[in-house]
Chains A and B, each alone.
Chain A
Amino acid sequence: MNTGRKTVPQVLTYLVLGLWAVTTIYPFIWVILNSFRKKGLIISDSFSLPLGDAFTWDNYITAWERSDFKNAYLNSFIISGTVTVAVVILAGLAAYGLVRYRFRGRGLLYSLIMAGMMFPVFSTIIPVFRMEAVMGIAGTGNRWLSLLAVILPQIAGNLCFAIIILMGFIQSVPIELEESAYLDGCNVFKIYFHIIIPAAKSSFATVAIFAFLWSYNDLFTQSFFLRYPQERAITGLLNEISSQAGVNYGLMAASVVLVVVPVLVVYVCLQKHIIKGLTAGAIKG
C-alpha cells in the first residue's frame, strides 16, 4: 500500500469509514436476525436479538419445503455463469480493439455503446421476446431453451457497461509494454493475452462480478422468459414467495438470506482475485 501518508488523522479516517460500513452491514444483519424471528414479531419489534421465545427455525423450514430452491439455484447458476463468461470474453476483445486501433467509425461505435447503456431493459424486451419466439427459443416450454432465451439478452444488456469499464482500464495500460512485446515478435493476439489481460486483470474481475450480480438479481428479464415452475431462477422464486407471503415477513427474510448467501460467496471468491490482480504489479516498470 501507499507509504507514509498521514494527512488525515487515522482515527478520523477509521471513524468515517466505520460509519459507512455500519450502514452497509446493518441491513444485512437486520435481515438475518428477522429470518430467525417468530411470525408477527417483526413489525412490533424488529430491532432486537431474536432470543428465547422469539427464536425459530420455522421460516427456513417453511421456505425450503414450500419452494424448489435446489432447482432454482441450478437454473440461476447456469444463466449467470454463462452470461459472466460470455460478457468477459466479448467485452474484453471489443474494448481492446476500440482503445488501441484508430479507424473510421470508431467514434460512432463508441457513441453506440454509450447509447446502448441507456436502453432501459423494458424498452427492448418486447421486441426481443417476439424475435426469440420466431427463432423458436422463447415460450417453448423447454427448460434449456428458456434458459438460453434469458442468457442471450442478458449478455447483450451487460456488454456495453463492461466495454466502457474495460476501455477505461486498458487505456491506462502503458503502450510501451505492448511495443516492446511487439519488438520481441508478439502479434496482437499474443499481446492481448499476455500483456493486456494480466495488466487489466483486476478490471476483468470487476466486470465479471457485476455481470454475475446483475444477471442473478435481474428479476425483470427472468420473469418475462421463465414462466414454468421448473424453469424458475432464484430471484423469480423470491418474488413469488414475497407475493404469496403477504405480511409473513419472517418467511420473506429467510428466503432473502437463502437468495443472498450464494451471491456473497461468489463475490468474496472473486474479491480475492481482484486483490491478486492488484498486487501482481504488472503495470510497474
Chain B
Amino acid sequence: MNSMIYKKKSPLIVFLVPAFLFLIVYLYYPFFQNIINTFMKIGGLGRAAEGMNTPWYENYRRLLTDPYMKTALKNTLLLTLCTIVFQVGIALILALLVDTIRVGAQFFRTVYFFPIVISATALGLMFNLIFLYKGGMVNQVLLSLGKLPTEVKASGKVLVEWLDWKDQAHFLFTMFMPVMWQYVGFYFVILITGLNNISQDLYEAAALDGADGWKRTRYITLPMLRNVLCTCLVLAITGALKVFDLPWVMFGAGMPENQGWLTGTYMYDQTFNKMNVDYGSTIAVLIVVLGVVLSNVANRVFRPSEDI
C-alpha cells in the first residue's frame, strides 16, 4: 500500500496546510473557545463572559440532571438508529435497484435528490400542511378510507374526530419521517457513485465463473461498497445528532409538552431563545463527544481492517 512515490513527505505541506489552516481558524479555534465558554457565565448573545461559573462545572452538573436533556438524548438516539436503518437502508436498496436498470436510471438519480434541494423552511411548511389537524392531506385520506371515527349530529352536521399527528402518541413519527425522507436521496447519490466506481471487469469475471444476480450483489457489490457504506454510516450518525431545521420549523420549542426535544433543537433554544449561551455551549460539546464516540464504534465494526 505504501508506495515509493509517497516516501518523500515534503509535498504533504502543500496538500494539508491550506485546508487545515482554514479548519483551525474557523472550526477548531471557535470550538475550543466554545468549550471554554461552558465553564463561564455568559449573560447573553455576543456578550463577554462575566467570569467563571460557581462551581466551574455547574453546566455539566445541570446537563446530567436536566430532565429535558434526557428526553432530547433519548429522542436523538432513537432518531440516529432510525436514520441508520431506514435512511441508509432505503438508499442502498434504491441504489442497487437503479443499478440494474437501463431506461430511466438518469431520471431517478435526478429526482431522488429533489428533497435536499428544497430548503427546510419550505419543506417544514409543506409537512405542516400535510399533517394538519383539521383537513390536512393525511387526515383527509384517512377520512375517505373511513378510518376516522365520525359522529352525525341531529342537525345533519358531521363531526369528525381528527387525528392529531403532533400529539404525544404520534409526534415521533411525524417528526422523524420528514427528516429521514429528506436525506435518503443524499445517501443514494453517494452510494450510486460508489457503485459506478466498481470495475466492470469484476462483474465480467464473476459472470464467467457462473455467479450472477444475488450472488454478484452479495460477493462483489456489497464488499466493494463497504468503504462507501461506512462513510454513509458515519455521515448518518453525525447528521442525526445535529438535526435541527426541519424539526424546528415543524415543532418549534419542544412540542408536544416538552416531549419533542432533540439535542439540536434544545441547544438552539437554550442559546438563542433562553439566552443561556454557556449552557447551550455545553450541549454542543455533548453532541460532538457523542458523535465522535458513536462514529468510532461504527468504524471499528464496519470499516475494512486494513485502513483507518
A binds B: yes
A124: which B residues are within 8 A, CB to CB? 26-27, 30-31, 34
B228: which A residues are within 8 A, CB to CB? 168
The CB with the most chain A CB atoms within 10 A, among B12, B19, B271, is that of B19
Chain A: minimal CB distance from B181 (Å): 7
Assembly CA distance A17 to B34 (angstroms): 45
The answer to whether B102 touches A171 (Cβ under 8 A) is: no
Chain A: minimal CB distance from B97 (Å): 5
The answer to whether A164 touches B234 (Cβ under 8 A) is: yes
Flag whether B301 is at the interface (Cβ < 8 A).
no
Pick the interface stretch among A7-15, A56-64, A66-74, A140-148: A7-15
Main secondary structure of the interface of B (DSSP, over half): helix
Given A118-B242, A124-B26, A156-B26: A111 touches B292 (CB 8 Å cut-off): yes
Residue of B nearest to A278 (CB): B196
Assembly CA distance A182 to B3 (angstroms): 10
Residue of B nearest to A12 (CB): B97
Give residues 18-40 of B contacting A (CB, 8 Å). 18-20, 22-23, 25-31, 33-34, 37
Given A98-B16, A156-B23, A242-B121: A188 touches B5 (CB 8 Å cut-off): yes
Residue of A nearest to B112 (CB): A24
A275: which B residues are within 8 A, CB to CB? 106
Flag whether B101 is at the interface (Cβ < 8 A).
yes
1/0 contact string of B52-77 vs chain A (CB within 8 Å): 00000000000000000000000000
The 10 A-B pairs at the shortest CB distance, nearest first, are namely A97-B15, A123-B284, A156-B26, A118-B291, A7-B213, A94-B19, A127-B30, A127-B33, A124-B30, A256-B122
A-B contacts besides A23-B181, A118-B288, A123-B288, 13 pairs, CB < 8 Å:
A20-B94, A27-B123, A97-B11, A103-B9, A116-B28, A124-B31, A129-B46, A159-B19, A187-B11, A206-B193, A213-B116, A252-B125, A267-B110
Listed in ascending order, the chain B residues whose CB lies under 8 Å from chain A are 1-6, 9, 11-12, 14-16, 18-20, 22-23, 25-31, 33-34, 37, 45-46, 90, 93-94, 97-102, 104-123, 125-126, 129, 132, 135, 137, 181, 184-186, 189-190, 193-194, 196-197, 199-201, 203, 207, 212-214, 216-217, 227-228, 230-231, 234-235, 238, 241-242, 244-245, 264, 267-268, 271-272, 277, 280-281, 284-285, 287-288, 291-292, 295-296, 307-308
Report 6 cross-chain contacts, Cβ distance below 8 Å, ordered by A residue: A16-B94, A21-B112, A91-B19, A124-B27, A217-B120, A267-B113
Listed in ascending order, the chain A residues whose CB lies under 8 Å from chain B are 1-8, 10, 13-14, 16-17, 20-21, 23-25, 27-28, 30-31, 42-44, 46-47, 90-91, 93-94, 96-98, 100-103, 106-107, 109-120, 122-131, 152-153, 155-157, 159-161, 163-165, 168-169, 171-172, 175, 178-179, 182, 187-189, 191, 202-203, 206, 209-210, 213, 217, 219-220, 235, 238-239, 242, 249, 252, 256, 259-260, 263-264, 267-268, 271, 274-275, 278, 283-284
